[in-house]
Amino acid sequence: KCELPQPVNYENGIPTIPVLNERILPKFVESNRMDKAVNRNGAKLKLFSGTANPALSQEIAWYMGLELGKVNIKRFADGEIYVQLQESVRGCDVYLVQPTCPPANENLMELLIMIDACRRASAKNITAVIPYFGYARADRKASSIYFTQGRESIAAKLVANLITEAGADRVLACDLHSGQSMGYFDIPVDHVYCQPVVLDYLASKKICSGDLVVVSPDVGGVARARSFAKKLSDAPLAIVDKRRHAHNVAEVMNLIGDVKGKVAVMVDDMIDTAGTIAKGAALLHQEGAREVYACCTHAVFSPPAIERLSGGVFQEVIITNTLPVAEKNYFPQLTVLSVANLLGETIWRVHDDCS
């Protein structure tokens, strides 16, 4: 005996029983679990954050209209990392946000263990969202004709293999312009280029296009700077050429291009100790530049970067939040732009199989 969802119809005196599908069931068939069923569309996507950059992960979650997944990450007394998922990921598309910022090795190991935990918990797909892939930094020379496969390339390939072997199905990474460094992976890699975020901000400065000149701080970054200049009202390009004639001999820096009376925008993919970009800015001032801006995606800021950047040679230092910036490293000329919307939109499009 059951309660049907609709009255029994009679055709030629014979009762017609309605077809029962998974959404219209008699009450005695329905279990308590079905009464508490969640929206399956929302449950298929899970976003988890490592401990490297939780602020960026939270911003991504806000943009996507999701709650960050519950995960317990802690260190044992001897430094070993423990990861425990506190909610089910079975059959879900899981996105793990974890840049390899300092301490790089610990954060990388944490990412590997998170991937493994999700794989063992029967996640359908696992995407490692790595806003900053530190071990590929030496591959910045790839745009130079002098680039050769070296030890740095082997290290990047090793890290890529570790991420793949841990169980990742896809990688999502950030860069300013080119993503050749992620070619070490044998799994699909989606590159999010941060150029639009920086370009939109520079457009808000309302600098006259005739006064702009884009500067590459070294020969290896010419392709990046050229691409940036094209999208910045097709601004002219200048290059800082530095060369060392012998060991223990000071670098000789020359400027290729005209910056006199202009607003120079120096473009790089990352700032570590800021030695190259600070020396380049000093040269630009010597050559008559009116103002110098520095733009980069990844702000590593190893000492003495803050002293060099805040020394007065830059009108403004524009970075993104792919890496967290410690409060002690803030200075008046620093502007931090968020890539959370960019990453959040990319995650939705990857999840929905869109372009």
Mean pLDDT of 100-122: 95
Q: Bigger pLDDT: 135 or 241?
A: 241
Q: What is the pLDDT of residue 2?
A: 47
Per-residue confidence at 261, pLDDT binned at 50, 70, 90? very high
d(CA 267, CA 231): 13
Q: What is the pLDDT of residue 182?
A: 61
The reply to whether domains 43-192+341-354 and 195-323 share a CATH topology is yes
Q: Bigger pLDDT: 153 or 83?
A: 83
- Indicate whether 9 pLDDT > 60: no
- Indicate whether 161 pLDDT > 50: yes
Digit-coded pLDDT (tens) for 131-149: 998 887 654 444 333 334 4
CATH topology of domain 43-192+341-354: Rossmann fold (3.40.50)
Q: Bigger pLDDT: 291 or 244?
A: 291
| Buried b or exposed e, range 307-338, using 16+ CB within 10 angstroms | ebbbeebbbbbbbbbbbbeeeeeeeebbeebb
Per-residue confidence at 8, pLDDT binned at 50, 70, 90? low
Note whether 267 and 295 are within 8 A (CB).
yes
Per-residue confidence at 177, pLDDT binned at 50, 70, 90? low
Least confident span in 19-23, 230-234, 245-249, 345-349: 19-23
Quickly list H helices, 213-304.
Answer: 222-231, 275-286
Per-residue confidence at 205, pLDDT binned at 50, 70, 90? confident
CATH topology of domain 195-323: Rossmann fold (3.40.50)
Least confident span in 127-136, 202-211, 275-284: 202-211
Tokens of 213: 């000149």
Q: What is the pLDDT of residue 154?
A: 81
Range 136-139, long-range pairs (CB < 8 A, 24+ positions): 136/181, 136/182, 136/184, 137/270, 137/272, 139/180, 139/181
**Phi and psi of 190, rounded to 5°?**
-105, 125
Least confident span in 126-140, 269-283, 298-312: 126-140
Mean pLDDT of 336-348: 94
Mean pLDDT of 318-323: 95
How many CB atoms lie under 10 A from the CB of residue 260?
10
Q: What is the pLDDT of residue 96?
A: 98
Note whether 116 and 84 are within 8 A (CB).
no
d(CA 119, CA 91): 10
Least confident span in 72-81, 168-177, 291-300: 168-177
Tokens of 275: 């030695």
Q: Bigger pLDDT: 229 or 210?
A: 229
Ranges of each domain in the chain: 43-192+341-354, 195-323
Q: What is the pLDDT of residue 249?
A: 52
